[in-house]
């Protein structure tokens, strides 16, 4: 309606204009059947050309990010630095760990996240995807790498289909003290412990720390000055520790195999709520159950750390929780929160500080289980 009124107003204005040359009069009488001159027709080809000429220029496309692996120089590999703060609570018992390491950089340290790692807010049946080897021989790797498998920590045997390219003969070394501020009662000095070849609080012990010193929802800094290797110099990082991981829903109840537990109804979608980290980082949620000790089943979800996620009914319905004393130990929810930030500094090829909060909670089945 507005368009019709607008056209009518234009016609009225043109018709009301008096005087002027023939061209002006013909424009004013464009809708008059008695006009001696007809408006020239415009071909579709001309219309197309005019539209092309008037079309907005396409926005410039950003340059693709360079592949850090392609620019990696094995003759000048720089340094890989990593510090981890791990906080676990299993069956009401807590333990915390803080360790770090420095080693010569390697091409594999620069591998980007895979598509599977980036698939957030999705669930799969089973705890992990099938392993797929990324190499079959040294020829599949860069000249300085070897094709090697991962090894089982218990048996020492190679893990099937775990072959990958790896730079050999790398060890964590002592480059001087590192200071971490942000812990309650800190800052604290972390130093190299030669037995395990990792950085620990005061350079002693097994890497464990008192849980009471962890400040949640707080900003931490990591600094190192006058590092021993000439090509390292210094490092720095700013990292925000997420809030303490605690389950809000499903609501905790008593009666679990190890005290407090949550009730799960597999006939409905299962909604989890916790204090989120503002969508930063992610949480792995795994629900495991078993009809008997020989037939465990689980659903695993990788979710954005925003405080809420619902496991769809199609996954929840496949869970089975047995009630025997032995299988009750297998009825379990695991929530594993991940967050990280970069460590930067002259000579650092790859650096990060990460935190992990792991909570394990018993399950009490209800409704249709």
Q: What is the pLDDT of residues 113-153, one digit of tens each?
A: 654 455 889 999 975 567 899 999 999 999 999 999 999 98
State both tokens at 202: 């005061």
- Between CA 302 and CA 299 the distance in angstroms is 10
Q: Is position 153 within any domain? A: no
Alpha helix stretches (DSSP H) within 55-187: 115-118
From the DSSP assignment, how many helices (H) and strands (E) are in the chain?
6, 20
Tally of domains in the chain: 1
* pLDDT (0 to 100) of residue 22: 39
Which residues, including other chains, have CB under 8 Å from residue 368's CB and lie 6 or more apart? 265, 266, 267
Q: Is position 260 within any domain? A: yes
Which residues, including other chains, have CB under 8 Å from residue 299's CB and lie 6 or more apart? 123, 124, 125, 286, 287, 311, 315, 316, 318, 319
Query: What's the domain range around 262?
Result: 247-336+361-366
Q: Is position 134 within any domain? A: no
Q: Is position 328 within any domain? A: yes
Q: Is position 257 within any domain? A: yes
The pLDDT mean for the chain works out to 81
Q: Is position 301 within any domain? A: yes
% of residues, the chain, pLDDT over 70: 76
Q: Is 185 exposed, middle or buried (0-12, 13-18, 19+ CB in 10 A)?
A: exposed
* pLDDT (0 to 100) of residue 119: 82
Q: pLDDT tens, 310-368?
A: 999 999 999 988 877 777 788 899 999 999 999 999 899 999 999 999 999 988 887 54
- Between CA 82 and CA 106 the distance in angstroms is 13
What is 227-249 written as a DSSP string?
Answer: -SSTTT--EEEEEEPPPPP-EEE
Q: Is position 271 within any domain? A: yes
Structural contact between residues 212 and 204, judged by C-beta atoms closer than 8 angstroms: no
Of 316, 322, 315, whose CA–CA distance to 296 is shortest? Answer: 322
Question: Residue 47, SS3?
Answer: helix
Question: Residue 13, SS3?
Answer: helix
The mean pLDDT of 159-165, rounded to a whole number, is: 94
Q: Is position 44 within any domain? A: no
- pTM of structure: 0.74
Question: Residue 138, SS3?
Answer: helix
Which residues, including other chains, have CB under 8 Å from residue 212's CB and lie 6 or more apart? 184
* pLDDT (0 to 100) of residue 331: 87
Which residues, including other chains, have CB under 8 Å from residue 68's CB and lie 6 or more apart? 110
Cα angle at 74 between 68 and 79, to 5 degrees? 75
Q: pLDDT tens, 31-72?
A: 334 334 444 455 555 555 555 556 566 666 555 555 667 778
Question: Residue 2, SS3?
Answer: helix
164-166 vs 146-148, strand pairing mode: antiparallel
């Amino acid at each position: 309606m507005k368009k019709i009124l607008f056209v009518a107003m234009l016609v009225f204005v043109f018709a009301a204009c008096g005087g002027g040359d023939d061209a002006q009069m013909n424009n004013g009488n464009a809708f008059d059947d008695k006009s001696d001159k007809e408006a020239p027709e415009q071909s579709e080809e001309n219309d197309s050309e005019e539209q092309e000429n008037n079309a907005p220029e396409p926005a410039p496309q950003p340059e693709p990010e360079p592949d850090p692996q392609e620019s990696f120089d094995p003759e000048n590999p720089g340094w890989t630095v990593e510090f981890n703060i791990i906080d676990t609570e299993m069956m009401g018992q807590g333990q915390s760990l803080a360790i770090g390491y420095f080693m010569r950089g390697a091409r594999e340290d620069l591998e980007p996240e895979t598509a599977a790692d980036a698939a957030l807010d999705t669930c799969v049946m089973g705890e992990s995807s099938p392993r797929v080897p990324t190499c079959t021989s040294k020829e599949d790797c860069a000249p300085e790498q070897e094709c090697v498998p991962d090894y089982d920590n218990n048996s020492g045997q190679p893990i099937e289909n775990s072959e990958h390219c790896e730079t050999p003969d790398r060890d964590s070394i002592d480059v001087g003290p590192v200071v971490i501020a942000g812990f309650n009662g800190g800052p604290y000095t972390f130093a190299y412990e030669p037995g395990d070849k990792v950085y620990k609080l005061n350079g002693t012990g097994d890497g464990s720390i008192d849980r009471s010193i962890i400040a949640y929802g707080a900003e931490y800094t990591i600094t190192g000055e006058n590092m021993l290797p000439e090509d390292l110099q210094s490092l720095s990082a700013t990292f925000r520790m997420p809030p303490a991981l605690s389950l809000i829903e499903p609501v905790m109840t008593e009666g679990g195999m190890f005290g407090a537990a949550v009730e799960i109804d597999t006939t409905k979608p299962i909604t989890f709520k916790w204090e989120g980290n503002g969508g930063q980082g992610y949480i792995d949620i795994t629900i495991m159950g078993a009809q008997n000790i020989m037939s465990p089943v689980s659903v695993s979800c990788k979710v954005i750390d925003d405080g809420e996620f619902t496991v769809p009914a199609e996954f929840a319905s496949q869970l089975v929780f047995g009630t025997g004393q032995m299988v009750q130990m297998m009825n379990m929810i695991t929530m594993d929160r991940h967050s990280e930030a970069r460590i930067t500094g002259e000579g650092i090829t790859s650096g990060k500080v990460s935190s992990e909060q792991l909570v394990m909670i018993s399950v009490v089945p209800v409704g249709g289980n």
